[in-house]
Structure 1
């Protein structure tokens, strides 16, 4: 005799299943998956002994999925100074925190802080850091993560002096008199800060594994509290894989994590035969990550037309031949590559590489990603559609940066930035992403930003023609993100056979005033039918 396990029935005032047709009153969860959906009476008849969970007036949505976020980076950052605009009032406040940290750490210890926003907090210089931390190497990373400021002691530790030449794809900032001002830009910062992309040894110490595990669990807890059930860590190194596996083995990894391995480490995965889809529903290899330009918030992305306020066209951080070779290799192996490209000039280079690889080695059905894909035009849309390329643009940047985007890029160009409306209309798969720590991680803020295209602080509209409906924004942050990971058959819906990942909200994001979506309370978050967060 075969005995079936008895599911748990969940019912609520509103269930947004995204399976098409009338919304169900309830759903049954069994062994970590959705077993059935429908009206409550029918499910009670089908499963008469099932335990019931009455969620009352709540709204249940499929678990939110961030397709581009940085868990490994967050694990390290959360062990150091948070210098975001939400925690410091101005540069004076920032410097006071750096100085206090230096005093507590003692001479010679590295002082590091992240999420500094020069547009909101003010300009920071090498001389400023010298005053408060003369005996400590100090590094403060701008919120976009593509440039930072170091003091004189750090420059000495890094072996950088007035005669030093920056690495290809990077810059050492200089004052009007030509002297180093402490800014490390693009590759000059990456070689110091990010183990996944560093080329050469960096004197900046990485935290101990036990501490990194503590930072990782802290980040996962915060993200669950925001409603996230799945993420894709968009830049990892082998050491990060080891950290994630340890978290899993110790029962601390409750977030589903996809991984994009830095192209600098791809040879190791290739030698082991590890490719896209390797792993399981909790921890899986999505593909490979490469870069071609800079950042939107850092004002270093590669543009065909100059920046509206400062001029210049940004930086290409990877030589074209190197980019083409990376895409050719990963594509030829049948694996997915996600290339960071913000500016339109950068995106065209990526499309050139994708088209060349597909022409030389046809791989029907192999869909690559363009990470951020921020500044587009009709030609870019057409080429992406023909390739089946996936767009992973920022969801929350309009809300976070507001009118500064119009200042930096011009109002006409922001009508073609973070172009969720255009991607949907063109039939291009588009995913939801925060790029935290570069942007706010809260997916409900990202949804509000996509729907309203309004700055949270200044109320300024940014590219309003790219607005989407709340229903479309939710699908982007669930089904779109699942498709970007190759998991669209198991995530993004509350439907039979899908993973039982769902988020319980205090209000319905599809019917509330869209300017209030970010304020909706997250009451609970479930992964595989088990609560991982409860308010």
Structure 2
């Protein structure tokens, strides 16, 4: 029986990632499946009077982008906060905060996002006194681009009850001055959780990361409605960029319940995974909650099959865990977990059949995660676990071959590199030794070693824009030696955003390729991206996004 398509895209240049038919002109969709891929005339012959025909006009057709490392709720919430990306200088900052203050008179704490560590000036981080000048009349705080540091003015610290310090989790710090009061710099989640509780979303957008399983305090009905609407708008924002799938890196039962409600309302326009976040303060008995999350949500639209952990912080705040102490210091960074407790967590999660994803940025953190995965394999036996390491911003050369040996996925964000073209290219220069720089953000070296490499943005750390991130991978900014910016091919980069990410979610038989029988997740770009100069790749965007056969975005 011939299936008649509901929608056909003709006259395109399809990159299918199907080895049996790598290139095609047209794709036909019926229901939630791709039913045919081939030449335009053959596909047109399948149409009925009810079939919608889309003329691609020579533009690229791809499997839908899957962003494999995002913070959906945070990204959605931050669409409405004060955007400080690219802002430098106290005068500019003061002007923006003053205007924002007038616009949002009811916010308990004015909150800015995307702030550079050098927002006040080079070679120094902001202080509460700086921010008192920026916002003299109202509490004000801002979060760094990497979301690992918050800076707050005096009144915000007082409001949060942490001006004179407070107990925080291992690996976090309320930086204190000699006078016994906070400087205003709050490093890592538990240090700034009290600030987030006073912001517009009450910290619920990062509750899975900052407070464990549940948002604190429990939201009112009005807050719940606001949170759900923010998530809906965040999902639409992703669909506009050609994204059909998201691997969230934080979340909890509350996030999953809101997403499930959106699904029942027909507004879950991207497939979403929400992990179970296991913290260093948790006992192993908490994995029972992970099992409950997996039992309740376990289908192709909304699921939990992964455990997320943090092993360290970030380089810019010197909380990333390093083999050698930071230049000019005796400080190696901060380990979120001890070695034994981390290995035990890996063994337990692996034994329960969960995939594990671990944030590891420093070279020693990466090594310890690989050790933890190896301990799990030794204890439980080898299986198709597809465990992941997130970020890998520095890597000791001795550990490079271990990714392929242990079948560990390297989850990278090309735009995060100093040569990615998004952030200050000098920002890490003084924080790494010359011998570390050739193995920093080593995407191509990991590929060449045989490791599976996947791409993502870490939205809202950077925009949830696949093509901008691909541009960063294909055309890195030139850097002086000993930096080694590593250019990756366009096809490799696209694969890492589609078929590679489908593999990372154990869905390579259903997603990530344009092939008959696959789920119909498709993006039609607005131009032929292979005809672009590499530097212009970031100009391409989605003309149409299709998730499960439904058009979720149309320009």
Q: What TM-score do you get using the length of structure 2 for normalisation? A: 0.86
- Note closer, same or farther for the CA distance 1:94–1:210 as it changes in structure 2 (3 Å cut): farther
Provide the rounded CA distance (Å) in 2 between the counterparts of 1:108 and 1:247: 27
Question: Aligned runs of 1:101-500 on 2, under 5 Å?
Answer: 101-102=100-101, 109-119=108-118, 122=121, 123-133=125-135, 136-162=138-164, 164=166, 166-175=168-177, 179-189=181-191, 191-192=193-194, 193=196, 194-199=206-211, 208-264=223-279, 266-267=286-287, 269-270=289-290, 272=292, 274=294, 278-296=297-315, 298-307=317-326, 312-397=331-416, 398-405=420-427, 407=429, 408-409=431-432, 412-454=435-477, 463-464=483-484, 466-500=486-520
What residue in structure 2 maps to residue 525 of structure 1? 545
Provide the rounded CA distance (Å) in 2 between the counterparts of 1:297 and 1:436: 18
Provide the rounded CA distance (Å) in 2 between the counterparts of 1:111 and 1:13: 47
Report the aligned-residue RMSD: 3.0
Asked whether the 8 Å contact 2:90–2:134 carries over to 1, the reply is no
Provide the rounded CA distance (Å) in 2 between the counterparts of 1:340 and 1:440: 19
Asked whether the 8 Å contact 2:82–2:113 carries over to 1, the reply is yes
1:90 aligns with 2:89: yes
Which deviates more from structure 2 when the two are superposed, residues 519-528 or residues 133-142? 133-142
Deviation at 1:310, TM superposition (A): 7.5
| Residues 108-151 of structure 1, C-alpha deviations (whole Å, 9 max, x = no match) | 82222221112356443212333454564432111110011122
- Note closer, same or farther for the CA distance 1:6–1:172 as it changes in structure 2 (3 Å cut): closer
Provide the rounded CA distance (Å) in 1 between the counterparts of 2:483 and 2:514: 33
Provide the rounded CA distance (Å) in 1 between the counterparts of 2:11 and 2:434: 43
Which deviates more from structure 2 when the two are superposed, residues 175-184 or residues 335-344? 175-184
Asked whether the 8 Å contact 1:470–1:509 carries over to 2, the reply is no
Asked whether the 8 Å contact 1:58–1:506 carries over to 2, the reply is yes
What residue in structure 1 maps to residue 201 of structure 2? none
Give the SS at the match of 1:317: coil
- Note closer, same or farther for the CA distance 1:153–1:402 as it changes in structure 2 (3 Å cut): closer
Of the three residues 502, 523, 533, the one matched with 2:522 is: 502
| Residues 323-361 of structure 1, C-alpha deviations (whole Å, 9 max, x = no match) | 223212211111111111111100111111111121111
Provide the rounded CA distance (Å) in 1 between the counterparts of 2:513 and 2:171: 42
- Give ranges in structure 1 of 5+ residues lacking alignment: none
Deviation at 1:46, TM superposition (A): 5.3
Provide the rounded CA distance (Å) in 1 between the counterparts of 2:264 and 2:56: 32
What residue in structure 1 maps to residue 202 of structure 2? none
Which deviates more from structure 2 when the two are superposed, residues 105-114 or residues 512-521? 105-114
| Residues 184-224 of structure 1, C-alpha deviations (whole Å, 9 max, x = no match) | 10144354343113349968989812222222222222222
Asked whether the 8 Å contact 2:244–2:546 carries over to 1, the reply is yes
Give the aligned length.
528
Provide the rounded CA distance (Å) in 2 between the counterparts of 1:333 and 1:155: 41
1:34 aligns with 2:49: no
- Note closer, same or farther for the CA distance 1:528–1:411 as it changes in structure 2 (3 Å cut): farther
Give the SS at the match of 1:304: coil
Asked whether the 8 Å contact 1:173–1:181 carries over to 2, the reply is yes
Deviation at 1:283, TM superposition (A): 1.2
| Residues 224-252 of structure 1, C-alpha deviations (whole Å, 9 max, x = no match) | 22221211111112211122112212222
Asked whether the 8 Å contact 2:34–2:520 carries over to 1, the reply is yes
Provide the rounded CA distance (Å) in 2 between the counterparts of 1:204 and 1:463: 48
Which deviates more from structure 2 when the two are superposed, residues 203-212 or residues 139-148? 203-212
Provide the rounded CA distance (Å) in 2 between the counterparts of 1:463 and 1:280: 43
- Note closer, same or farther for the CA distance 1:507–1:386 as it changes in structure 2 (3 Å cut): same
Provide the rounded CA distance (Å) in 1 between the counterparts of 2:102 and 2:163: 26
Asked whether the 8 Å contact 2:12–2:59 carries over to 1, the reply is yes
Deviation at 1:74, TM superposition (A): 1.7
Which deviates more from structure 2 when the two are superposed, residues 40-49 or residues 206-215? 40-49
1:64 aligns with 2:27: no
